[in-house]
Chain A
């Protein structure tokens, strides 16, 4: 069927030229900026052009803020808009947002900067240039008004979308001068406000994207419907590294709705049908023979053994060294003191975003367009170009809000590659590829598994005179971003453990300290999972410090204070959390409290937990969390991120585990990959400190303290240490 047949009255050329847009209007349920249709509509309505890349003001004073980072629930859309608007001086009630497509960014010399939405970087990496964008637009609007009045711009001020000429009291609305402002030369330098003068930024404003999420109107990638679109269900070889040997397409080709059965790259088969359910039904019936490849002998036990060997290996990469910990430990226990050693392990985790992976692709010989929920539109665009074989300027990506990201939708654009691969096999037809939950569980980019062995010497006074922390396990960078490796070493494995990196440094001073990593890379694809390596590093360090306090016969906050004298910001959040939970007063009978702190993603975080165990069941009664991100752009959204961090962190601590057997993951859905639900959710109280002078991230760091605070509280309540996760594998008592 030709395009014209499917879209009567639409020529092939018009369809191709206007496809994004045609599809970008009402039919899609969301607006696509810069699409041909959007531009045509703007022209037809005599809408003024943008004031600058960040700001569009319409005649009715509606302000569109362009946001390059992706909204996946973390509130970055609202927070970044607050920063722009703070400088722009417009009426917050008239603000909307849009995503500039990444292809447009390339055409404009990357005017919007990075699209990468991960590492809790949305605000901390772009606060400066987005505020400058807002400030420059304000200056241009003021200059346009001043020119109209023929007065010096310095006599005019902007506030709440109105420009006022001080001496005469005359006013003009932003919408009245936007057209003229857009034609002015942008100012070369603008002065930003001191955060203490903020009126929009820094305030606990409601999110901009809530209403449509309450009525079903919000369109996620999985919901997308394009004219003439077909649906694809896919199955890749469940064994990592395996391939498709053969499949019997004829067995399912006559099933209802089936249009084609296609091989996707080497490793997967897809069925394309009129509806996704019919595609999936046929795929389930499709006989496929796999060439399972070289990894069928890999199991959780073999991986654990591989890592265990790394714990005592001679060779390791050094992440933090002070003095000579090995020599000190080799001397044996100090007089009246002791040596304490403990081993920990953290298993594979799946991101398990609620919206399964998906992408919709439309390929022709001239152009390839993809609609996708992505944490990095530019990564998606690069993969579209590569997979389509077209030059990047013939490709475009339209971003859609994500139904969860957590790191799965950033670097890993496997589903985009697959969607384009299928679409190339049916040019001119939009194809929506949607993974089943099983596919999502079997083909994750897993939080890597690691083990750690910690040894320390305590002297007679309970001072830690030496500590060696050996991490053994998988590097994410080695697999995912090898260009980030430093002389064979993965620096990211030391998150939160370095001596002095602003991204996250250890909050304890130990005179003889060695933290090193024996890299052991099983053939399981690893990925950045919300919190990344800070998660297990915090569990290892914070639980071990708690063990040392106990072995030294000291109360754990007092013990930590002695080690933290040189780390006042780490200590401040810890003290705040401890005070919040009532550390100085005993908990109720049967309950125990635990503490944890760490620095990561540029922020200082701590948690205090109160738990009990009854009939083998753990109850987390209460958490008090403290976070110091330097500046708080939206305290209400920070609270939500902190609360959510306990769901993500405790889901892993209590239940999360992907186990390997026969070279594949055993868990395929939420029945076996359990996650925290409402019934297990503790009360969370969030304390936000803003010590200023730096900009830290919020979305991830608190996850890391969730586990160790609860594990330490569990020890306080039961007298037992649980050093391997998840807790569901232990009989608690």
Chain B
């Protein structure tokens, strides 16, 4: 049995050591909010936080993560969808199909932790997730809105 700390709980599971974190989350642990889009860390649909850092979980072997490291997925970002990023996303009705949006939200939440008031240039540089529906301008606006709320 291997162990990981996900959303504040120690989870036990069986998986080959080279299994990407994405698939352990989705299959062994049943948390499907983290999405599979490309498998090569290009699209960002699989973004989770590891010790607060936005990480593309589809290329991260579980064996490379210590039990002491804190993994947060979309399911654990807030208990009830009340994270400032989620609230801004709701206020601006950002998602279209929505498939990429959990990864987008996790990337945005991580950005605001390290850069509480990102400029447009910062957002362009840091939010590299792919959305095919084309929500980018509302993603940008929602990040600014969430930054403003966090700043009070």
- Chain A interface residues toward B at CB < 8 A: 71-75, 206-207, 209-211, 213-220, 222-223, 225, 231, 256, 275-278, 281, 352-356, 401-406, 434, 436-438, 636, 640, 643-648, 651, 669-671, 675-679, 681, 683-684
Contacts and interface: CB of A to CB of B under 8 A. Distances in A.
Given A276-B23, A354-B37, A671-B40, A402 B136 contact: no
A437 B19 CA distance: 17
B39 interface: yes
A277 B95 contact: no
Contacts of B37: 354-356, 437
Q: How large is the interface on B (under 10, 10 to 19, 20 to 34, 35 or more residues)?
A: 35 or more
Nearest to B139: A678
Contacts of B145: none
B94 to A, nearest CB: 8
Given A75-B96, A437-B38, A669-B42, A678 B32 contact: no
A214 B95 contact: yes
A214 B86 contact: yes
Interface in B8-39: 15-16, 19-20, 23, 26-28, 30-39
A679 B31 contact: no
Interface string B44-71: 0100000000000000000000000000
Nearest to A681: B136
B103 to A, nearest CB: 9
Contacts of A74: 96
Contacts of A353: 97, 99, 132
Nearest to A684: B137
B139 A217 contact: no
Contacts of B100: 354, 403
B2 interface: no
Given A219-B32, A670-B130, A678-B123, A213 B98 contact: yes
B40 A211 contact: no
A-B complex: 3 closest residue pairs judged by Cβ atoms: A216-B33, A644-B134, A647-B134
Contacts of A214: 81, 86, 89-90, 95, 101-102, 105
Contact of A669 (B31, B38, B75): B38
A684 B138 CA distance: 11
Given A216-B73, A401-B98, A644-B135, A678 B33 contact: no
A209 B94 CA distance: 11
Given A207-B93, A213-B101, A276-B27, A73 B81 contact: no
Contacts of B95: 73, 207, 210, 213-214
Contacts of B34: 216
B140 A678 contact: yes
B115 interface: no
A512 B37 CA distance: 50
Contacts of B124: 678-679
A683 B137 contact: yes
B35 A222 contact: yes
A644 B26 CA distance: 29
Given A216-B31, A356-B36, A644 B96 contact: yes
A436 B33 contact: no
A557 to B, nearest CB: 26
- Name, among B94, B96, B100, the residue most crowded by chain A CB atoms within 10 Å (CB to CB): B96
Contacts of B129: 677-678
A675 B140 CA distance: 18
B136 A404 contact: no
Contacts of B4: none
A411 to B, nearest CB: 19
Contact of A218 (B38, B96, B98, B105): B98
A678 B94 CA distance: 14
Contacts, number: 176
B112 interface: no
Nearest to A231: B27
Contacts of B131: 354, 647, 678
A215 B86 contact: yes
Contacts of A676: 136
Given A404-B99, A669-B40, A684-B137, A210 B130 contact: no
A646 B37 CA distance: 21
B43 A670 contact: yes
B90 A354 contact: no
Contact of A402 (B97, B102, B130, B139): B97
The secondary-structure label for the interface of chain A is: loop
A415 B140 CA distance: 35
A210 B134 contact: no
Given A73-B98, A222-B35, A669-B42, A681 B90 contact: no
Interface in B74-96: 74-75, 77, 81, 86, 89-90, 93-96
B97 A404 contact: yes
B16 A404 contact: no
5 contacts: A72-B97, A215-B81, A218-B98, A405-B97, A678-B123
Nearest to B100: A354
B86 A675 contact: no
Given A211-B81, A216-B34, A678-B139, A277 B19 contact: yes
Contacts of A404: 97, 99, 132-133
A517 B58 CA distance: 45
Nearest to A207: B93
B27 A669 contact: no
B128 interface: yes
A356 B127 CA distance: 22
A679 B98 CA distance: 20
A640 B98 CA distance: 13
B47 to A, nearest CB: 12
A401 B43 CA distance: 20
B90 A210 contact: yes
Given A210-B94, A256-B16, A354-B37, 12 more contacts: A210-B90, A215-B102, A216-B73, A216-B102, A220-B99, A222-B35, A231-B27, A354-B130, A355-B37, A404-B99, A406-B132, A640-B138
A223 B31 CA distance: 9
A221 to B, nearest CB: 10
Contacts of B125: 679
Contacts of B93: 206-207, 210, 636, 640
Contacts of B30: 225
Contact of B99 (A256, A354, A669): A354
- Name, among A206, A216, A670, the residue most crowded by chain B CB atoms within 10 Å (CB to CB): A216
- Name, among B37, B42, B94, the residue most crowded by chain A CB atoms within 10 Å (CB to CB): B37
A218 B34 CA distance: 11
Contact of A675 (B36, B130, B137): B130
Contacts of A213: 95, 98, 101-102
B74 to A, nearest CB: 4
- Name, among B42, B99, B102, the residue most crowded by chain A CB atoms within 10 Å (CB to CB): B99
Nearest to B88: A214
A670 B99 contact: no
A402 B99 CA distance: 8
Contact of A354 (B19, B39, B132): B132
A462 B107 CA distance: 54
B20 to A, nearest CB: 7
A206 B123 CA distance: 25
B39 A216 contact: no
Given A222-B36, A275-B28, A678-B139, A216 B128 contact: no
A647 B133 contact: yes
B32 A216 contact: yes
- Name, among A213, A220, A404, A677, the residue most crowded by chain B CB atoms within 10 Å (CB to CB): A213
Nearest to A212: B98
B90 to A, nearest CB: 6
Given A216-B32, A644-B133, A678-B127, A670 B38 contact: yes
Contact of B128 (A210, A217, A679): A679
